[in-house]
Amino acid sequence: MTRSPKRLAGIAAEYLAHGWPITRLAAPRKGSRCQCGGSCMEAHLVDGEPVTSVGEADRDWGDYEIAVITRGFEVLDLPAYPGVALNGALTNRCPTAVARPGRRFDSLLEPGPVRWHFYLSPASVDAEKVARVGGALHHGPDGWIAAPPSRTPATGRVRWNVHPMQTQWRTYRPTGVFDTLGIA
């Protein structure tokens, strides 16, 4: 699958069409300079402001990755085992991405370094409980997370496990499932 700037701009436009705030993400690649022109080692936002129109995405996207800015929702970022358990409990009710550094195959066969990203309604989980299971909570106007089909040095390729189309681009509001995992 080709990752041309035009294709990435089209994917960015899809996020925008469904009201998900996004921005350009510079992701340094091994052996080459960061897209921002610096010698960065970590992925970072090109600017902190969200892209607001399809025209802006078409005009300005370039070869940047996509970051979702967590305004109006939060992203629960869990390690492999709690993530697999939560994904199984939620089935197809929650937009869910999987990040696997250096891997391209089924994350359920070999959970290893997989990170699970669950897109939730605001104030759905307790950040302290999330931290106790090795997770993180990305939220607020300054929060962001690499969005599929992005690749970064830290996450590797990020892909949808449950595409937002399956949930009509709505984030999930927990209804007790999280209590069983000890993170609500």
- CA angle at 38 for the pair 33 and 43, rounded to the nearest 5°: 75
pLDDT of residue 177: 57
H-only helix segments in the chain: 5-17, 54-60, 80-90, 127-132, 177-181
pLDDT of residue 6: 85
Q: What is the pLDDT of residues 141-170, one digit of tens each?
A: 789 999 999 988 888 889 999 999 999 999
Name the residue with higher pLDDT: 103 or 29.
Answer: 29
Question: Three-state SS for 82?
Answer: helix
Does the pLDDT value for residue 78 go beyond 70?
yes
Q: How confident is the model at residue 182 (pLDDT cuts 50, 70, 90)?
A: low
Supply the pTM of this predicted model: 0.86
Note the pLDDT tens digit of each residue in 22-62.
Answer: 999 998 877 677 878 888 888 899 887 888 888 888 887 87
pLDDT at 103: 47
- Cα separation, 183 vs 90, whole angstroms: 14
- pLDDT of res. 97: 95
Is the CB of residue 120 less than 8 Å from the CB of residue 97? no
CA distances from 56 to 12, 45, 48, 150 (A): 10, 16, 15, 19
Omega of the bond leading into 50 within 30 degrees of 0 (cis): no
**Residue 130, number of CB atoms within 10 A of its CB:** 22
* Distance, CA of 8 to CA of 165 (rounded, Å): 18
Q: Which two tokens stand for residue 42?
A: 């970590």
Question: What SS3 class is residue 54?
Answer: helix
pLDDT number for residue 153: 82
Average pLDDT value for the chain:
84
Stretch 98-114: mean pLDDT: 62
Residue 104, pLDDT above cutoff 80? no
Q: What is the average per-residue pLDDT within 80-105? A: 83
Cβ neighbors of 130 (< 8 A, separation 6 or more) are 76, 78, 136, 137, 183
Q: What local confidence, expressed as pLDDT, does residue 142 receive?
A: 84
What pLDDT does residue 18 have?
94
**Cα within 13 Å of Cα(14), Cβ side:** 14
Contacts of 3 (CB under 8 A, 6+ apart): 149
Q: What mean pLDDT comes out for the span 116-138?
A: 91
- Give the pLDDT confidence score for residue 107 in this predicted structure: 45
Greater pLDDT, 32 or 119: 119
